[in-house]
């Protein structure tokens, strides 16, 4: 059965569709191939994974109140109460984006844990011609399949079990570590206009789990871009892999895949998350 991908301008206005947010603000994208581009970040609350290097642990659980930047780049916020009506949310995102070319990042936490809200927001933004950038841990493919054709760019994290575990009360996905679930998700994500995979490299990263990731990506398409992201020390991670190790992993990835880049996070430089 095919999915109707035509934008429905009334979709986000459906009564009863609410989102649980943490914050909405404008900054520069700090990761991946679109690094440095102006982006409105729409941060959803709640996550079902626990990454040792997480830079936003305040998003792990839903919160009662959220905040919104009053003007792009002002760093001045006002508080709001959850849940927020998705129609109203689309309005404030549209008003906060400086130009039609601005990326709108639906991020978290894990945005796909709120299926109705994320679909409503995606459809509402698409109806206004906005560029939608979905940042996800890449495990909930059945949710993404409902509106994947509306997404301009899927930024899919590939989680490595050396540093990532399920959250409290959450069962691990079936199969080998996260690899089976990630491969299934990636096959859905390729139906978006663009997709890339990002994985975080730490001193605990194992060669065999990277090789398994390379295999799975290549089985879907060797042309899918892969970003190798050296960890930014925080949380339970105190050090970065040395340059020799990073370059060795880059060479191994390039031997298997056609488009590989080694890109660190840049947003710690200018103080945004």
C-alpha–C-alpha distance, residues 181 and 139, integer Å: 6
Q: Which ranges in the chain belong to alpha helices (H)? A: 86-96, 115-127, 141-144, 179-189, 207-220, 243-254, 267-270
For residue 215, being part of any structural domain is answered with no
For residue 13, the SS3 value is helix
For residue 130, being part of any structural domain is answered with yes
For residue 269, being part of any structural domain is answered with no
pLDDT at 272 (0 to 100)? 54
pLDDT along the chain (273 residues), means of 10: 37 65 95 95 97 90 95 92 97 93 96 97 97 98 97 98 95 90 98 98 97 98 98 87 98 98 87 55
Name the domain count of the chain: 1
pLDDT at 236 (0 to 100)? 77
Q: Which domain holds residue 160?
A: 11-198
- Whichever domain contains 41, its CATH number is 3.20.20.70
pLDDT at 13 (0 to 100)? 42
For residue 162, being part of any structural domain is answered with yes
For 30-75, write each residue's pLDDT tens digit: 999 999 999 999 999 999 999 999 988 999 999 999 999 999 988 8
Residue whose C-alpha is closest to residue 48's, from 212, 130, 167, 199? 167
Strands 65-69 and 21-28, how do they pair?
A: parallel
Token representation of residue 204 = 């605990």
C-alpha–C-alpha distance, residues 51 and 204, integer Å: 12
* Predicted structure pTM score: 0.91
For residue 112, being part of any structural domain is answered with yes
DSSP string, 140-206: -HHHHTTTGGG-SEEEEE---TTTEEE-TTPPPPSSSTTHHHHHHHHHHHTTSS-EEEEEEE-TT--
For residue 56, being part of any structural domain is answered with yes
For residue 19, being part of any structural domain is answered with yes
- Long-range contacts, 233-237 (Cβ 8 Å, 24+): 233/53, 234/53, 234/54, 234/55, 235/51, 235/52, 235/53, 235/54, 235/55, 235/57, 236/52, 236/53, 237/52, 237/53, 237/163, 237/202, 237/203
For residue 240, being part of any structural domain is answered with no
């Amino acid at each position: 059965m095919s999915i109707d991908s035509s934008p429905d301008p009334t979709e986000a206005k459906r009564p009863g569709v609410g989102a649980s947010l943490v914050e909405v603000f404008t900054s520069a994208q700090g990761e991946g191939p679109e690094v440095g581009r102006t982006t409105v970040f729409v941060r959803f609350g709640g996550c079902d994974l626990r990454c040792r290097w997480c830079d936003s642990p305040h998003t792990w659980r839903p919160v009662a109140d959220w905040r919104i930047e009053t003007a792009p780049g002002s760093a001045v916020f006002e508080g709001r109460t959850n849940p927020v009506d998705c129609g109203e949310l689309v309005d404030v995102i549209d008003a906060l984006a400086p130009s039609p070319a601005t990326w709108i990042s639906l991020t978290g936490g894990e945005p796909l844990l709120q299926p109705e809200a994320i679909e409503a927001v995606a459809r509402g933004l698409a109806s206004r011609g906005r560029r939608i950038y979905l940042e996800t841990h890449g495990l909930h493919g059945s949710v993404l399949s409902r509106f994947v054709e509306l997404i301009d760019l899927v930024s899919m994290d590939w989680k490595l079990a050396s540093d990532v575990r399920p959250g409290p009360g959450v069962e691990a996905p079936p199969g080998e570590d996260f690899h089976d679930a990630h491969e299934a998700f990636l096959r859905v994500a390729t139906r978006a206009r663009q997709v890339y995979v990002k994985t975080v490299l730490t001193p605990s990263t194992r060669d065999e789990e990277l090789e398994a990731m390379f295999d799975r990506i290549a089985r879907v398409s060797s042309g899918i871009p892969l970003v190798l992201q050296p960890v930014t020390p925080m949380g339970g991670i105190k050090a970065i892999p040395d340059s020799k190790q990073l370059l060795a992993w880059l060479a191994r990835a390039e031997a298997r895949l056609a488009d590989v880049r080694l890109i660190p996070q840049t947003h710690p430089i200018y103080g945004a998350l």
